[in-house]
Amino acid sequence: MVDTATLLVELRTEELPPKSLQRLSAAFADGVLEGLRAEGFLTEASLATPYATPRRLAVSITAVLGRQPDREIERKGPSLAAGLDAEGRPTKALQGFARACGVEVEQLGRGHDGKQDCFVFHSRKAGEPLAAHLAAVVQAALKRLPIPKLMRWGDGEAEFVRPAHGLVCLHGGEVVPGRVLDLDAGRATCGHRFMGEGAFDIPHADAYADTLRARGSVEPDFAARRERIRAGLTEAAGAERALVSDALLDEVTALVEHPVVLKGAFDAAFLAVPQECLILSMQSHQKYFPLLDAGGRLLPRFLVVSNLAAPDPEVIVRGNERVLRARLSDARFFYDQDRKTRLEDRVPRLDEVVYHNRLGSQGERVRRLARLAAAIARELNADEALAERAARLAKADLVTDMVGEFPELQGTMGKYYALHDGEDARVAEAIEAHYRPKFAGDELPAGNIALAVALADRLDALTGIFGIGLTPTGDKDPFALRRAALGVLRMLMERGLPLDLAKLLELAHAQFDREQLTDSTPVDVFQFMLERLRVYLRDQGHAADEVEAVVAQRPSRVDRVPARLAAVREFRKLPEAEALAAANKRIQNILRKAETVGETVDADLLREDAERHLHQVLLEVTPRVETCLAGLDYTAALTELAGTRAAVDRFFDEVMVMAEEPLLRANRLALLGQLGRTMNCVADIAQLSG
């Protein structure tokens, strides 16, 4: 019978980084699990359960062997050709391999190393106990944790993200001896700082979680603790609504071991400050959960998650209210002080703020944005003066006290200050909205003024950063250019903006001094954005070949891409689609090999009935296709093209394109050129060929 039991490994530390606790926990559990698997200690029934609190990382793994099974070891040696000479006698290489294995040459076997036959040595290695490997497995798992910076403590040489104070290693009810981070393994752990029993033993690996809950007043399961907090927030909020973000919930879960939700209040006079400031102050600085009414308006109340079930919770509540009062007072002070200076008067200060050392100051950037936004607004038949004004003021809140304290509020505070200054409401809205979308799936700006400023902001960033050679590489994108490109593409497509992307990039490039950027910048950025378009469309669920059929045409009117995709999707359902796609691919291959392809077809040089018929079909179909294109009815255009299949098939069956007579050959190439241009007027349908 195989000897298995649950294995428990717990490392107790000082307070771990809360924002990375979940990641550390998962990586630690995976590392220990994989290490044990590599050493042969796991069974098919082995299952890992991670545990994490502010002061511990732990993992419990079921059905772990106490001793490795015996293993067959195969050691490969020289090939047969290298091991035997021409007379079949052992070479020095083979003799040396035998000596290294501790056997005679005659005791070696023969096998295959994947390329050739070779000599092999088989032996049997007895399994070793878990104690011989566990410490090394745990140490290796700790070294692989995603920790940016290690620290040392005391007089030892151990390094970890925080000082470590205890190590538990239990296999069933037995301690597995070993030493990790200068700590000897045992069964003693500690519970809550104030509510637990202090140090106590874990009697059995299977009793870990229950023992911590009963004797330590600690909930070691991160997910269970998280749900306990969520339920407590819901109950405490009652008829009101707690503003709960997953990020804050995870962070608070990583800060407490025994969560207790309490309700506090603050002076309603603070609600005169924009609620975004108050909410951010509560969430960012204090890890509180604001309460909102049914309309989403902030109430003068909040929820706090305490790490202590106190006899008199009001003491904790009053202390948190006192701290919050100071925070909100700071926010009110910043708000009052900022409003004493108009946004317009702050703009000159942007000349003192560096945007990039090779692209100048924020002031220079704002002047570029103002010109570019006005030009885009003109293309959208929007108010140029308002777009220029919004772009001029868009970055002014960067030099306010509130944004200096809370950078996340840039744009938001600009909107409030613009309204306070009496600016047009559309200008104020554009100042806030020009930062959107901030992330995938985020809401887009509404209204052409806001869209003009938002497009200008991203086009300037893309053009400027690309123009000085700082392009994204691999997974590194320090200037968030992929996100900027996606924002532009989404605005053009989802808002249906009738703007030419290539011309927009040329316009953005023209706002810079000529010597600042390379001449190829607009083309380089356009190519980069086409790649982002491919990725975005595939992520939206479109078939890869349909996406390629559209994007291969290098569409500059991005707003028309969805309609083109829809047309391609309908076209491929037609019975003629596959044959025409294959024919189109053949056409492209022929034209690619030709030195020159003429633009016009000489009808007098059409000798074969099949080529005359194809020419006549093209003369009839092309005007109808052009009418469909003019009406942006791409599906109808491709349906018209489907009617050319018979003529195209007959042409390739009966006509030799590369005729020996030069004039005939050139005329047939010109005919194919016309056919190819017509067939690809919506998309490169050759991409649909299997």
Q: How far apart are CA 382 and CA 375, in angstroms?
A: 10
Contact 587, 653 (CB under 8 A): no
Instruction: Out of 22-31, 58-67, 125-134, 458-467, pick the least confident.
Output: 125-134
Residue % of the chain over a pLDDT of 90:
75
Q: 């202590």: which residue's tokens?
A: 308
Q: 């990790």: which residue's tokens?
A: 180
Q: What is the mean pLDDT of residues 590-618?
A: 88
pLDDT of 1 reads 39
Regarding the domain delimited by 344-541, which CATH topology (the fold level of the hierarchy) does it fall under? Answer: Hypothetical protein af1432 (1.10.3210)
Read off the pTM: 0.81
* Cβ neighbours of residue 217 closer than 8 Å, sequence gap 6 or more: 191, 192, 195, 196, 257, 258, 309
Residue 363 belongs to what H/E stretch?
helix 362-379
* 634-642 and 609-630 helices, crossing angle to 10°: 170
* Cβ neighbours of residue 602 closer than 8 Å, sequence gap 6 or more: 667, 670
Task: Report CA-CA distances (Å) from 120 to 81, 87, 101, 127.
Answer: 14, 21, 10, 22
Per-range mean pLDDT, top range of 85-99, 209-223, 604-618: 209-223
pLDDT of residue 11 exceeding 90, the answer is yes
Which tens digits make up the pLDDT trace of 364-405?
A: 999 999 999 999 999 999 999 999 999 999 999 999 999 999
Which tens digits make up the pLDDT trace of 516-565?
A: 888 899 999 999 999 999 999 999 999 999 999 999 999 999 999 999 99
Asked if the peptide bond before residue 437 counts as cis, ω within 30 degrees of 0, the response is: yes
Q: How far apart are the first and last CA of the chain?
A: 56
Q: What is the mean pLDDT of residues 93-119?
A: 88
pLDDT of residue 2 exceeding 80, the answer is no
Domain-by-domain residue ranges, the chain? 4-68+130-216, 74-125, 222-338, 344-541, 562-688
pLDDT of 690 reads 62
Bridge partners (DSSP) of residue 272 are none
Residue 62 belongs to what H/E stretch?
strand 56-65
Instruction: Out of 109-113, 200-204, 211-215, 447-451, pick the least confident.
Output: 109-113
Contact 151, 162 (CB under 8 A): yes
Contact 106, 136 (CB under 8 A): no
Residue % of the chain over a pLDDT of 70:
100
Instruction: Out of 221-230, 447-456, 569-578, pick the least confident.
Output: 569-578
Sequence-ordered alpha helix ranges (H) in 44-202: 80-83, 92-101, 134-143
Q: What is the mean pLDDT of residues 456-483?
A: 93
pLDDT of residue 578 exceeding 80, the answer is yes
- Decide whether 344-541 matches 562-688 in CATH topology: no
Largest CA distance in the chain: 104
Architecture of domain 562-688: Orthogonal Bundle (1.10)
Cβ atoms < 10 Å from Cβ of 90: 19
